Structure 1
């Protein structure tokens, strides 16, 4: 009985400390990058890093275990009203696969990433450097985005391909 009470107290203490810890981390991201006051960090273990620019729009969110990287001189922009699910990776720099990795430094591809307003990016998606996702588009879960996605389309797969255009809402 006493052990059960002690366990519950410890869980509450550690949960509170964890929430405060992530709150401090997310506050530091808001200070370093352009994060709208209406943007939500929706979970734990979300990482924003790099010397480039990161802009996260109003009424948007990013899920837990997600990573956003902006290399120096590059940018990531997430528009307003976007839903970026859990375990999403967004990179502005990536090694060129055809390179000889024995030769250092390994050449890399660099490019800005832009996600338009009102987009939905499913869980476990990788968005490569230089990709733009048009407004009101969807990227299905477990996809790898290697090229631009036009507005109003649903894409998915590895690599991501057009599934269909969105039906018009009435």
Structure 2
């Protein structure tokens, strides 16, 4: 025989996480996309049902206890694709726009507050990636420029990469496994495996190893 004390009661921290979500938006997203998706308050996901692929889990607009919710948007235009392969967290105040020919792939890790991603070609983020706040990633210039090879170029971010706050990553750049990009840098060229780069434009400083 059991009494009410035997029932499982969610912990206060679990309750706070649940109440931070937008329950109806999360429920509708999971039903429509048949994926593990968590949508927090003031976060929005706009995409066709076939536009989202992969077996991973995606959190959109996450905020920590005590933080105020901020508008966060993820928009996939018709013809664009989003693939989620691991557990990836998009924090509050960010925006992602995937164009009609764009493909954004997310492995595992997180992007902190106030980020911006423009994907009109290819943007790929690997596993175990830490991206700090106010980072901008763009695989397009949006306009033609005399002397430029093209207006678009794939951005590839490898596994176990750490990108500091206020970094800008432009089209056609590969950031290799284990690399670190210092805060405030503008990445205009490829970054080698395990390299620390810094500056505007970002240049090699030394080889490093880092951990979460």
Q: TM-score interval w.r.t. the shorter chain? A: 0.7 to 0.9
CA shift, 1:98, in A, is 5.2
Q: Does 1:127 align with 2:169?
A: yes
Instruction: From the two aligned structures, give the one with the greater strand fraction.
Output: 2
**Structure 2 partner of 1:56:** 106
Give yes or no for contact 1:47–1:65 (8 Å, CA) kept in 2: no
Q: Secondary structure at the match of 1:93?
A: coil
Aligned match of 2:41: 20
Native 8 Å contact 1:116 1:135 kept in 2:
yes
Cα distance in 1 between the residues matched to 2:154 and 2:209: 29
Contact 1:61 1:83 in 2 (8 A): yes
Q: What are the residue-to-residue correspondences of 1:148-163 with 2, within 5 Å? A: 148-163=190-205
Q: Distance in 2 between matches of 1:166 and 1:16?
A: 38
Q: Distance in 2 between matches of 1:165 and 1:80?
A: 20
Higher helix share: 1
Is contact 1:46-1:64 (8 Å) kept? no
Give the Cα separation in 2 of the matches to 1:81 and 1:138: 13
Large movers: runs of 4+ above 3 Å: 15-19, 23-32, 95-99
TM-score, normalising length from structure 2?
Answer: 0.59
Instruction: State the structure with bigger RCO (CA 8 A, min sep 6), 1 or 2.
Output: 1
Residue among 58, 78, 99 paired with 2:125: 78
Alignment of 1:1-170 (within 5 A): 19-22=40-43, 24=45, 26=60, 29=74, 32-51=81-100, 52-58=102-108, 60-71=109-120, 74-94=121-141, 95=143, 109-166=151-208
SS at 2:43 equivalent:
helix
Q: In the alignment, is the contact (CA less than 8 A) between 1:81 and 1:119 conserved in 2?
A: yes
- 1-side partners of 2:145 and 2:187: how far apart? 15
Q: Alpha-carbon deviation of 1:91?
A: 0.6
Q: Supply the RMSD in Å over aligned alpha carbons.
A: 3.2
Which stretches in structure 2 are left out of the alignment for 5+ residues?
A: 1-19, 23-38, 47-59, 62-72
Distance 2:93 2:193 in 1: 30
Q: Is the 8 A contact 2:75 2:98 kept in 1?
A: no
